[in-house]
Structure 1
């Protein structure tokens, strides 16, 4: 006869085994260290600095992320570049204060429309093999269509229990039709023209305990890449990750070219005037 305590321990072991099989994000795998040198970890202070959101470097002093990562301001957060392992010491890491945070003025917290923000670091980064910018799609460029393979990366949860990886993960997913994501059983009216949705539904068993590969909590603010160019920002896909009818949602970067140019250009001009 199995005791209640033994049953509980056995169940815990099963849960741990399922978590351990997951390789990152929801599905995916660990990246080759520093093979995505544009990735940024936005960290919140406490007893130790803790990863909260992602971001990506687009200029020598600028990081792009999502508004919902810092809706009320930086509040002591720091940006760390050159990261692979969040916990291990790495000579490649560069840590920055947030000099300025520019959240898009039309961000809608009810559906995360216009979920794009720009961070100005307190100083330019030192370019290296571990820290570089990534190109982002501008107005007039071609966004990926239904079925196109896209990539995303982050240090976000690898399951709905909130288990976070220590090392950067990546996943290849596919763009889902906008018409499908507008359906009432998906996102309905919350899904706007400023959004792309994407996920990978595994026809065969995936290499982890889910049948969907997806971004998740903590990946927010990271890039969605198409042919090596950032086309989206990880935004929101629902309360749970890896659900077939709740693909990850990504903000379409090319819709904000004028705002990006005005924000970065204005700040650069002001800096030049003050010197």
Structure 2
């Protein structure tokens, strides 16, 4: 069965105003279909201290990312940009400085060498920060799971992506959504010929999904980082079209070895 619409990858294009974001479509950086996280809710303060925002100039958020070590982020490979500004510890997308916020420059981006576009296999990338983070209740790394998630696992996805699709409406506060890992068979049924071992599908009832602007953000299961927001169908949150996430359990050795060799 052919997929409906255009596959997306969640990437935010630019702030339409100081508080409202715009999104480009193509992957989740330029392809996207996503949701407010659609039908999610405001994350509790301090609940996602590993959540990072990747920014262009003038506080334009374009992707999410995850803090996995004192100087290292993980994000989607399709979020790669020449210049990366990073914001951690900021629950709101307001450009106004808030207590707890830490700002960084990405000085090195290392996409997985097997990343392929437009298939989006191996969709992960490491970003080295210009200095170590100062660990606080607002900013701290998360461990990566070495175990692949079985079907039925309950997880939490977060991001500042659009809260509606195809119309775009971006939230001021970080959004959280509970999703459930689907079986490989269900995932392949939803996207015939497009799923491999570097991906897993997760969703909930119709109308709940991640979306444009959420790319590269964390999927946390059992208090460990299990995946990254990668791609999906457009519009987001369509029945039988779950979100597709980078399956990080397949990459723990590459992540560890790459950090070690570039420290």
- TM-score bracket relative to the smaller structure: 0.7 to 0.9
Partner in structure 2 of residue 121 of structure 1? 129
3-state SS of paired residue (1:92): coil
Conserved 8 A contact 1:199-1:212: no
Q: Which of 25, 39, 59 is the aligned partner of 2:51?
A: 39
Report which of the two structures shows the higher radius of gyration computed on alpha carbons. 1
Runs of 4+ in 1 over 2 A off after TM superposition: 74-77
The Cα offsets for residues 22-66 of structure 1, whole Å up to 9 and x where unpaired, read as x94111110112221010000111xx2111110110000000100
Cα separation, 2, equivalents of 1:180 and 1:245:
9
Cα separation, 2, equivalents of 1:75 and 1:239:
27
Conserved 8 A contact 2:63-2:213: yes
Partner in structure 1 of residue 168 of structure 2? 162
Q: Highest relative contact order (Cα 8 Å, sep 6+), 1 or 2?
A: 2
Q: Which of 191, 198, 209 is the aligned partner of 1:194?
A: 198
The Cα offsets for residues 193-242 of structure 1, whole Å up to 9 and x where unpaired, read as 111101111xxxxxxxxx42111111110111111111111100123210
Partner in structure 1 of residue 209 of structure 2? 214
Q: Which runs of 5+ in 1 are unaligned?
A: 1-22, 202-210, 269-275
Q: Which runs of 5+ in 2 are unaligned?
A: 1-34
TM-score by length of 1: 0.80
Cα separation, 1, equivalents of 2:252 and 2:182:
24
Number of residue pairs matched by the alignment: 227
The question of 1:225 aligning with 2:213 is answered no
Partner in structure 2 of residue 271 of structure 1? none
Deviation at 1:264, TM superposition (A): 0.4
3-state SS of paired residue (2:260): helix
| Higher helix residue share | 1
